[in-house]
Structures are given as C-alpha cells and as structure tokens.
Amino acid sequence: DAPVPGKVSNRFDLEKETELRFEVESGEAAEQLELELLSGMAEVFGSELNRNKKYTFGPGSKIAVFTWQGCSVNLYGKPEVSYVSKDTPMLLYLNTHAALEQMRKQAERDNERGPRVMVVGPTDVGKSTVCRLLLSYAVRVGRRPTLVELDVGQSGVSVPGTVSALCIERPADVEEGFSVQAPLVYHFGSTTPGTNIKLYNKLTSCLAEVFSQRCEVNRKASVGGCIINTCGWVKGSGYQALVHCASAFEVDVVLVLDHERLYNELKRDLPHFVRVVLLPKSGGVVERSKECRRDTRDEKIREYFYGFRGLSFYPFSYEVRFSDVRIYKIGAPSIPDSCLPLGMSQDDTQLKLVPVTPGRDLTYHVLSVSSAEDGEEGARKGIVESPVCGFIVVTNVDTQTQVMKVLSPAPRPLPRHTLLIMDIRFMDMK
Ligand code: ADP
C-alpha cells in the first residue's frame, strides 16, 4: 500500500457484515479520495473491490464499502465524513436477491419469464442503490437483467428528462457505475413526472412493450427479468404512475423502501399475485439538497458531451438553419375542459406536438434528436413514441440570419431533423 503523495491515509479494519461509509466533500475545489482494499474482501454497492487497486471518488460521492467476511481498507485524503456502521440492511437485500434468483431458476425450469421488480419509495431512501445492488448481484451469478430507469430527475442511464432501459451485462464499475452502451432512451422533457403525467405513463408503456418484445426473442433477457427504478413522488398522480407502471410491466415483485403507507396502499391496489415487500432503508443513505440534485443533473449532461475520468469526449459546435429542423414541445398548455374543441380531451393536449418557433429563449435548452423518420405529417404521429438518438444543446440563436448554434456529440450534419425541446437547460462553462 504505497501512500498517495500529499494525502493523509487512514486505515479501517472492518469486521464481517459491517460497512465503512464516507462522503467526499463537494464543490469545485474539493479533493478526491482514493480507496484501497488491503486484505479480505469487500464490495461497493454490489461490485467487488480488487485488492491493491486504488479507486478514485470525486467530489460529492457518497460511498459504502461493505464486507461479508471482514477486511482492511485504506482511505487516502480527507473525507467530509467517515465512519463504520454495524447496522446495515445488506443481509435483507441479499435475501431479496436470493429470492429473485429462485424465481429466475424456476422460470428457467418452467419456461416462464423471470421476475419483474419495481423499486419504489420517497426520494433519498436508496432506490437507485438497491437497483444497482440487485442488478450487480444478478449479473454476478450469470444473469442478464434489464435496468428500467423511470427516474426523470436523477437518471442513472441517460441525461435528465428521459426514461430508458439498459441491458446489464457486467457488474457496475466501482467508480463509474454501469457501462452505458446502447440504452433505449425516450424523451420526457422535464425533471418531474408531474409536468406531463400522461406522457410519463405513455413512455412507461412504450418501455414495457419494447422490453416484452425483447423477452419474446431473447430467452436470457426474459429469465433475467427487470429491475425498475422509479421517481420519489409517491402521492396523487405520482402514486397512480406507480400503479400504472406495475400493470404495464406486469411486475411480480414490488420493493417498497422505508414507507409503510405506500406499502399498504400498493398491497391494497395491486393484484393479489404481486408480492409487495417492505424493506428498510440503509442508515447510510444521505439526503441530498435541491442544489446537490441540480449539480448532479448538470454533471450528467456535462458527462454526455465531455465524457469523464479516463474517457474524454470532444463535442462539436456548429450552426443549424431553422429551416433544416422541426422543433416540437410535447404537450400543449392545459386549458379548461370547457374551452377544449369538441371531441378533444385533456389527454390529447398532453400528448400533442406543439411546433416551437426558434427564438432567443431557446438558448441553453437541451434538445432531444428524435429517431423518428424525417418527413411531414406521416411521421409526426410516431414522434412521441420514438426513441431518442442523441441530444444537443442550443448555445446561440440568431433570429436575423435564422440560424442557431448547437453543441453536439457528433460532427454535422444532424442524423435526424426532428428535435424535441426539454425544460432543462445546460450552460456550458468549459
Ligand atoms: P434514491 O434513488 O432513493 O434517491 P440513492 O440510491 O440515489 O437514493 O442514494 C442517495 C445517496 O446515498 C447516493 O449518493 C448513494 O451513493 C448514497 N448511499 C446509498 N447507500 C449508502 C450507504 N449505505 N452508505 C453511504 N451512502 C449511501
């Protein structure tokens, strides 16, 4: 264990079934921390650590190093917080994995499909972490589960304002999480489902449909099942969205983290064959402030364009003529029922494509590039249900010359010309 120059080092000897929790300071000037496993075995959210390798965690990271058998680790640098806890729900989480694995075995035997699991609970109870854990454990025993990401505020897969699905083929990287190759991504456009709940439910149904089709042709995907991460909004329409999701995916298991009322409501409202399980949250889960969430979202968009850590991307900046693209917003502002045209319902307005005339106020908005075929009216119908093939950010709009400048991960030209505007903005400070 060679020391890291200029950094204090702290050794922790962990007993079996305990975890070291630490947080890295946040902010621009914060120094990152390195973690090294010296002896024994340990894992970070379900991914095993290699011995004598230094893992780096950047500003704002909140990490738990758990050990089943006992281990020693070194932490280089000064964490904001660090302590060892004996009180963790990991055994319950492992048992949950074991139960899901039983279901997969049975599915394999009986030529059925594997478990479809929905993880629910308020914000900051560790939903994403539990999903990551269960997926990594499943893939470690040779399964190929699918992660369905419905958290439009804090997506682990794509930029904020999207829902997505990702086939998991290897455990999450300790530092970087799951490798995101070829995810299926849909445009939602804002960071809370409440801005357009009809659209949110529609996209949930789209993902469920695509996943089911994949299961029909891919036995491993079918047996592996899926783990669905959801939003922390669990009341009113948010609750209805969970019920809708359970039915669209025909889930078999719902894991409720730390919310007894939600647990009881779901038990009451879901069909009796759905197993609803209440699990405690980990005491280590850290509540994140609004600012912290916003920073994470910003970081996610920055990563999309610039890459991170060892992998740098070099995005392109070029001009796009207004006349070469069609920009839409999904959902017209809601109007009183009494003012709706005859035969039209609010549903229709929420899924309607509203053309956006480019103006200065488009600056900094993130736009999804729809994979829908270019072409007029015919294609227009399928745009809402079409996956996204990438994202651009508008960096400047010139209404005089009818041209806007965009930041794009690929050189010109745009692969498609139908763009969907998000409420989300990104200011490029690089
Ligand atoms: P949710 O998805 O419910 O909003 P997350 O799973 O994203 O919650 O967890 C919130 C934060 O807490 C994350 O930064 C995560 O890394 C951290 N975290 C989760 N479990 C632990 C733990 N046992 N110890 C320390 N930090 C944890």
- pLDDT recorded at residue 426: 96
| Residue 30 binned pLDDT confidence (cut-offs 50, 70, 90) | confident
Q: What percent of the chain has pLDDT over 90?
A: 81
Nearest atom in ligand 1 to 66's CA: 23
Cα 154 to Cα 387: distance, rounded to the nearest angstrom: 19
Measured distance CA(383)–CA(371) in Å, rounded: 8
Cα–Cα separations (whole angstroms), residue 359 to 345, 363, 401, 403 = 30, 8, 12, 10
Is residue 14 within 8 A of residue 67, CB to CB? The reply is yes
Ligand 1 atom with the shortest distance to the CA of 132: 6
In angstroms, what is the span from residue 62 Cα to ligand 1's centroid?
7
Residue bearing the CA closest to ligand 1, atom 15: 62
Q: Using CA positions, which residue lies closest to atom 24 of ligand 1?
A: 284
The response to whether residue 325 sits with its C-beta less than 6 Å from ligand 1 reads no
Query: What are the backbone dihedrals phi and psi of residue 229, each rounded to the nearest 5 degrees, phi first?
Result: -95, 135
What's the whole-number mean pLDDT along residues 24-44? 91
142 phi-psi bin (left φ>0, alpha ψ -120 to 50, beta other): left
Structure token digits, residue 257? 């983290």
Q: What is the DSSP string of 41-60?
A: --EETTEEPPBT-EEEE-TT
Look-up: residue for tokens 């039915």?
247
* Ligand 1, atom 6, residue with closest C-alpha: 126
Query: Residue 325, SS3?
Result: coil
Tell how far the Cα of 37 is from the centroid of ligand 1, in angstroms: 21
Q: Which of 44, 67, 129, 132 to mutate to test the pocket of ligand 1 (most atoms within 8 A of CB)?
A: 129
Ligand 1 within 6 A of 244 CB? no
What does the pLDDT look like over 281-320, one tens digit per residue? 999 998 888 888 898 899 999 999 998 777 789 999 999 9
3-state SS class at 104? helix
pTM of the model: 0.94
Cβ–ligand 1 distance for 372 under 6 Å, the answer no
> What's the gap in Å between 259 CA and the centre of ligand 1?
16
d(CA 264, CA 96): 19
Q: Is the pLDDT of residue 351 over 70?
A: yes
Q: How many angstroms separate the alpha carbon of residue 20 from the centre of ligand 1?
A: 13
* Ligand 1 center to 195 CA (angstroms): 25
pLDDT above 90 for 28: no
Q: What's the pLDDT band for 378 if we cut at 50, 70, 90? A: very low
Q: How far is the CA of 107 from the centre of ligand 1 (A)?
A: 31
User: How confident is the model over 123-146, as a mean pLDDT?
Assistant: 97
CA of residue 242 to ligand 1 center, whole Å = 21
**If you measure from the C-alpha of residue 127 to the centroid of ligand 1, how many angstroms do you get, rounded to a whole number?**
8
